[in-house]
Chains A and B, each alone.
Chain A
Amino acid sequence: MPLPKLQRIGILSDRFAAFIIKGSAFVAILSLILIFVFIGKEALPVLTSPEVRSEASLSRLFLPQVHHAGEAAEFSWQPISDVPKYSLFPLFIGTLKVTLIAALIAIPLAVAAALYTSEFAPSWARETIKPCIEVLAGIPSVVVGFFCLMVIASWLQGAFGWTYRLNALTAGIGLSLAVIPIVYTVSEDAFSSVPQAFREGSIAMGASSWQTASRVVLPAAMPGVLAACILGFGRAIGETMIVLMASGNAAVLSWSPVDSIRTFSATVAAELGELVQGSPHYHVLFFIGAFLFLLTFVINLIGRWWVGRLQKKLQGAF
């Protein structure tokens, strides 16, 4: 006997809804996979196409090249030139410098602030700093870059008299502003998740507030704090606008923090507009994009693995 009409409608609409949902999910998932595939596909000619390799093969990207007969081999990024030069090394050093500077500033500040908020702060202080961090997190990176370019750069040059107004340090300071919220939030979560019993036990044994915080809570929350640092690091590597506006964009190969730098993401942002489809320059930029992809993937992976191991170790101890 056929089902009553209402029930048939119910079943049909259920099937229809399932179809729509599965279809949409399929489209979304496909798009995500497509990003990986497409960027990889456009980066591949650097490894495979002979035409691209004559200008920008892997060895040219990573090893020093002799550009002028008789001179020493050097690393140089000058894609628009009679002899295009595609060494990634100056870009790598630039990215590394600014990320390290940002991490060195942001991580101590954010972890200390998180510790204060979760362990020592009176509730009125807690209610002040948390919204502050949310405000900081909400500031778009282009605004941070603008502030760096207009205010911080002039202020620093006025105070220290550096040669270059836009350099790794200026960009690093701006970058740290973008990293602080992430490190703070995850660290603070980690600290609050430490069971209250730990603190009570420590105080019962005569430890002071600080001793409890530094010798009991901090070690117990270490996996979370490390996760925060790694997340912050990953954010710093990929940030584009702040570095684009405040770092000088010069592919300088030096270890000085007050020299200008050129990072991977800023390079892509600066040169994406002038790409002729299919040219070696085009494929090299996609190669950089794929490289950034891989880099953030590896960092996330290492982070999760490391944090997982630490968690097991700490759980074993307790």
Chain B
Amino acid sequence: MRNRCVVLMLVSALAVALSGCGRGPDSGEQHRPVTVKGSDTMVILAQSWAENYMKEHPGLTIQVTGGGSGVGIAALINGGTDICNASRPMKPAEKNQVRSRHGKDVKEIPVALDGLAIYVSESNPIQSLTEPQIKSIYTGKITNWRELGGKDARLVAYGRENSSGTYQFFKEHVLNNEDFAREVQTLPGTGAIVNAVSKDPASIGYGGIAYASGIRVVPVRKDEKSEAVSPSLATVKTGQYPLSRNLFFYTIGEPSGEVKSFIDWVLDREGQKLCEAVGYYPIIQK
């Protein structure tokens, strides 16, 4: 009796599993989802785009995963995704790897604008920071808020994992390719950085402007003599904000079929309007 129960359970479980396999393709057409992978900065934007696009085009699925621009680029090179989200441009070496593995060049498509924001806790009174100061903080040369005119408190710097495009962008543009200090706390996502900074009065962090809630965004000055600029649509579009950057889609070769329709929609009015709703800035204004 017990035997038969066990066998029955196993058989029914097997049936459930196999029914998934055996089911014919929906509406007689084998459609596989469009995969979008990569930047954690862009993941909320890509999710918004995907949700809205799927509402208008039922039957099509778009799958969005984050993990960092590095994950998306690796997936593109390995052939594991249709569209790669990247918050930094691909390096020539990476583009070469795509060419050598797939025989086609990457197509680089800027889809939105971002002002990389510097976060501090809401109770932090610092007026502004120059780029050299930010660099000194993250390379470990400034370790106390006192050196910036604030209280005597040990500075805690939060940053992203090395798979992040934001990490790379920050390294290149702010640190001039110097290494991050070892003491920089690495967190796996911008959300985690914002969360940590909001809880820690002596902390500083960086990330996409869309994530900025619950913390203060510090205006940035290019150097001692420049004006302090806060990120906004106007300052980022003209490049006046020193840490403005493009957010990219990358595909292997020219996009076609469903992928192309999606990208066209993203670059069109509806898609671009969503940028602002999420918290970034549209790249194309009509």
Contacts and interface: CB of A to CB of B under 8 A. Distances in A.
Q: Do chains A and B touch in the complex (CB under 8 A)?
A: yes
Given A163-B202, A164-B156, A271 B184 contact: no
A82 B167 CA distance: 13
A90 interface: yes
A250 B68 contact: no
A250 B162 contact: no
B87 interface: no
A61 interface: no
6 contacts: A82-B177, A85-B179, A90-B182, A260-B185, A270-B186, A274-B162
A248 B185 contact: yes
A276 B97 contact: yes
A79 interface: yes
B182 A165 contact: no
A261 B70 CA distance: 22
Interface residues of A, number: 31
Contacts of B171: 81
B187 A274 contact: no
B200 interface: yes
Given A80-B167, A164-B156, A271 B161 contact: yes
A85 B154 CA distance: 27
Nearest to B153: A163
A165 B74 contact: no
Interface string A238-274: 0000000000111111000001101000000011011
B180 A78 contact: yes
Across the A-B interface, the 5 shortest Cβ-Cβ residue pairs: A274-B70, A80-B162, A274-B163, A273-B71, A249-B186
A252 B186 CA distance: 11
SS class, residues of chain A in contact with chain B: loop
Contact of B163 (A67, A165, A251, A273): A273
A250 B161 contact: no
B142 interface: no
Interface of A: 67, 76, 78-82, 85, 90, 154, 157, 163-166, 248-253, 259-260, 262, 270-271, 273-277
A276 B74 contact: yes
Contacts of A262: 186
B244 interface: no
A18 to B, nearest CB: 20
B152 interface: no
Q: Determine the interface band of chain B, counting residues with CB < 8 A from chain A.
A: 20 to 34
Given A78-B162, A78-B179, A273 B185 contact: no
B144 to A, nearest CB: 11
Contacts of A90: 182
Given A80-B70, A164-B156, A249-B161, A277 B185 contact: no
B186 A76 contact: no
Interface in B124-159: 154, 156
A164 to B, nearest CB: 6
Given A248-B186, A251-B182, A273 B202 contact: no
A260 B68 CA distance: 22
Nearest to B196: A165
Nearest to A80: B162
Contacts of B67: 273-274
A166 B196 CA distance: 9
B235 interface: no
B45 interface: no
Contact of B199 (A154, A251, A275): A154
Q: Which of A249, A253, A273 has the most C-beta atoms of chain B within 10 angstroms of its own C-beta?
A: A273
Q: Which of B71, B97, B185 has the most C-beta atoms of chain A within 10 angstroms of its own C-beta?
A: B185
A157 B196 CA distance: 12
Given A80-B70, A80-B168, A270 B161 contact: yes
Given A154-B199, A276-B77, A276-B97, A271 B162 contact: yes
Contacts of A253: 182
A154 B188 CA distance: 18
Contact of B200 (A67, A165, A271): A165
Nearest to A83: B179
B183 interface: yes
A76 B179 contact: yes
Nearest to A150: B195
Given A67-B179, A165-B156, 5 more contacts: A78-B179, A80-B167, A90-B182, A249-B188, A252-B182
Nearest to A249: B186
B78 interface: yes
Contacts of A270: 161, 163, 186, 188
A108 to B, nearest CB: 30
A267 B112 CA distance: 31
A121 to B, nearest CB: 36
A276 B185 contact: no
A249 B74 contact: no
A274 B185 contact: no
Nearest to A253: B182
Interface in B65-96: 67-68, 70-71, 73-74, 77-78
A182 to B, nearest CB: 28
A78 B139 CA distance: 13
Contacts of B184: 250
Nearest to B185: A248
B156 A163 contact: yes
Nearest to A84: B162
Contacts of A154: 199
Interface in B45-71: 67-68, 70-71
